Structure 1
Amino acid sequence: MSMINNLRAAVRPHRRRETPFDTLRPGHAPSAVVDCAVYQDGKRVGESCSPREAAQRVKLCRDQDPGSFSWIGLHEPTEAEFEGIAQRFGLHPLAVEDAVHAHQRPKVERYDDVLFAVFKTIRYVEHDQLTPTSEVVETGELMVFVGRDFVITVRHGGHSSLKELRLRLESDADGSGLLGKGPSAVLHAIADHVVDNYLLVADRLQTDVDEIEFAVFADKSGRGADVGRVYQLKREVLEFKRAVAPLLRPMQLLSEPIQRLIDPDIQKYFRDVADHLARVTEQVHGFDELLNSLLQANLAQVSVAQNEDMRKITAWAAIFAVPTMITGIYGMNFDYMPELHHKYGYPLVLGGIVVICIGMYKGFRRNGWL
């Protein structure tokens, strides 16, 4: 019933409500607002402002520059905090729910005239030595709403801040002029930033994979001492793979002409991002396959070591079976036994047992069983 009410509310015309989050200035707003600014002619206009003021400023700026837009950055907002912004910019309730609750699969979706993109952010966790419990990669999420005159970013996690990216774009306003291309330029910059981090993490993971590979084949004991480390690294690589693989097709779609929400001059930049992402995807798939091979090789080493142990145990059991059998026969107390009443019968039998055991021992050694 609650879902039906939410959908009715989404499609029913209503008067926009001004929530405290939407109206307060940044100095007094909740901590979810990281930055909020308006851009005209590719340059930042004025200081940070509230989302409500940003929407008003964009309306005024678009009379002079149709490419003017606002960029609102948030960090882990609650439903109540995000409600005012969602209403003011007409965001679809399904996309809003995904942005607030996170834990989404990487994707790019279109809701009328708004693109909604989900990126998985990756951070490499420094460690002195890889252990069976080491955390190698840490993931977060970054959601981006792109409209005709606005960009809204929602970040989850304690890393991958967009502050430096925003400053870099603002400082390049007189150079590349990407911000002058509108909100799609910001979407490209964010995608490029995320994928560049993927490349850095993949290079760092390469070192860990090489270290594990060397350790597995350098281990001569065959006791599977590195299987825990291999399995843990495989789990981390799978987490990385789940962040990278689903994003490749959406990036390729953004570079195609059918995406009318993306500036044609920006589409070729998305092709470059898709190429980099394809390289990372291939690299991560390679890590996964190599770690599968290392697990199999490690298990094979354990099996070989167990077989060696069984052969040694079998060889020694066969050697000890000889004196056990002979002494067992002589312990049956028959009257007619070989050398039973001979003066040197006892030492002859013992000597025969020793000779047979030594001969078996040499035979097993020659065949590699001992």
Structure 2
Amino acid sequence: MVRTRLYRDGNLVSEGFPIAEVSDHVTDPGNVVWFDLCAPGAADLERVGEELGLHTLAVEDVFQEHQRPKVDVYDSHLFITAYWLHLEDSRLHPVEISIFVTPNALVTVRENAHFDIDKVTARWDASGDLAKNGVSFLLHGLLDYVVDAHFDLVERFDEEVEALEDQLFEERPMTRQDARKMFTLRKNMVGLRKVATPMREVVNTLLRRDLHVVTPEMMPYYQDLYDHVLRVAEWTDNLRDLMSNLRETHMSQQGFRLNEIMKKLTSWAAIIAVPTMITGFYGQNVPYPGFGSSAGFWWSSTIIVVASGLLYLAFKKRDWL
């Protein structure tokens, strides 16, 4: 699947043209070309590399899995790796996006179709007055959509952490399902941090004036994008610390509840031990006060009830029962 666009002097003049025409369009400095590839094969990328003169190492990096978000600077272009994230069945799924940036061309290579490129083009169309900034404008719209997805996720995780905090101090103890939810949330936040934190370096590199990627008019937009990236990274770090505190508090509460249970069991065992001792003592085959009469039975029963009651009141006063 290939999507192509041609801008001239800030106006969209053509869409859906074949990749073979890209080299003809980019020769005109007034043109800006964008095209998108979804899960392309090696032959498709090689053809794109020949059309735009892309470095071989950059083309090879597209097929290298689990790349860190980064910016590689080559003589004629930049190569950017970023990740768009989405949740599916409470699991975080990253979609790798490889981006080639030349003076008047932008190439996006998506790992799969989960990344909806139509939403990116809708953003471009909604800000058409900035299209005269060329590649700088297109790249900002793409990265802004990626960072917004990170921001939405960290907001959602923050709400889930708050819900866990409230639940932690309820009378009802946390179930195994709650513990699994806490583990899944922590795992998702680690995944978000792995792709969101390096984006600071990515955007900061693009802001370098010697690269001439960001036009003066687009500079405030990229600075705002950098601010969002910083907020996501810091927010994620704070949530990770909160999750660690939640886990430690949960473990402390489990130890506290275990101590409460042990106190109750010990108290009941002490109460039961007294009648056991008395009946065991009178069970010896020797005469005792009241031996051979019903008075001995009533005396032993009275001692058992009184001693057990006194122990119960003493333990209850200490809040052991």
Give the TM-score taking structure 1 as reference length.
0.78
Q: In structure 1, what is the equivalent of residue 199 of structure 2?
A: 247
**5+ unaligned residues in a row in structure 1: which ranges?**
1-30, 126-133
Q: In structure 1, what is the equivalent of residue 121 of structure 2?
A: 166
2:67 to 96, 104, 113: 104
Q: In structure 1, what is the equivalent of residue 244 of structure 2?
A: 292
Structure 1 residues 69-84: aligned runs within 5 Å:
69-84=32-47
Q: Does structure 1 residue 36 correspond to structure 2 residue 4?
A: yes
Aligned-residue sequence identity (percent) comes to 30
Give the Å deviation of 1:158: 3.3
Give the Å deviation of 1:124: 4.6
Counterpart secondary structure, 1:348: helix
Structure 1 residues 5-20: aligned runs within 5 Å:
none
Q: In structure 2, what is the equivalent of residue 323 of structure 1?
A: 275
Counterpart secondary structure, 2:218: helix
| AA aligned opposite 2:110 | R
Give the Å deviation of 1:280: 1.6
Structure 1 residues 100-249: aligned runs within 5 Å:
100-125=63-88, 134-135=89-90, 137-170=92-125, 172-173=127-128, 175-176=129-130, 179-218=131-170, 220-225=171-176, 226-249=178-201
Asked if the contact 2:71/2:205 (under 8 Å) is kept, the reply is: no
Q: In structure 2, what is the equivalent of residue 55 of structure 1?
A: 23
Aligned length: 320
Counterpart secondary structure, 2:54: coil
4+ runs of 1 displaced by more than 3 Å? 170-173, 260-268, 337-343
| AA aligned opposite 1:55 | S
Give the Å deviation of 1:216: 2.3
Q: Does structure 1 residue 88 correspond to structure 2 residue 43?
A: no
1:359 to 286, 306, 310: 310
CA RMSD of aligned residues (A): 2.4
| AA aligned opposite 2:9 | D
Change (3 A) 1:230 1:92: same
What is the CA deviation profile of residues 125-162 of structure 1, one whole-angstrom value per residue up to 9, with x for unaligned ones?
5xxxxxxxx51543212111101232110112333322
| AA aligned opposite 1:98 | D
Change (3 A) 1:351 1:168: closer
| AA aligned opposite 1:199 | F
Change (3 A) 1:320 1:205: same
Q: In structure 2, what is the equivalent of residue 45 of structure 1?
A: 13
Change (3 A) 1:108 1:221: same
Change (3 A) 1:181 1:223: closer
Distance across 1 between alignment mates of 2:295 and 2:289: 11
Counterpart secondary structure, 2:284: coil
Distance across 2 between alignment mates of 1:363 and 1:171: 75
Counterpart secondary structure, 1:77: coil
Q: In structure 2, what is the equivalent of residue 3 of structure 1?
A: none
Give the Å deviation of 1:97: 2.4
Q: Does structure 1 residue 304 correspond to structure 2 residue 256?
A: yes
Asked if the contact 1:123/1:138 (under 8 Å) is kept, the reply is: yes
Counterpart secondary structure, 1:72: strand
Asked if the contact 1:115/1:147 (under 8 Å) is kept, the reply is: yes
Give the Å deviation of 1:329: 2.5
Asked if the contact 1:109/1:116 (under 8 Å) is kept, the reply is: yes
| AA aligned opposite 1:161 | D
Counterpart secondary structure, 1:323: helix
**5+ unaligned residues in a row in structure 2: which ranges?**
none
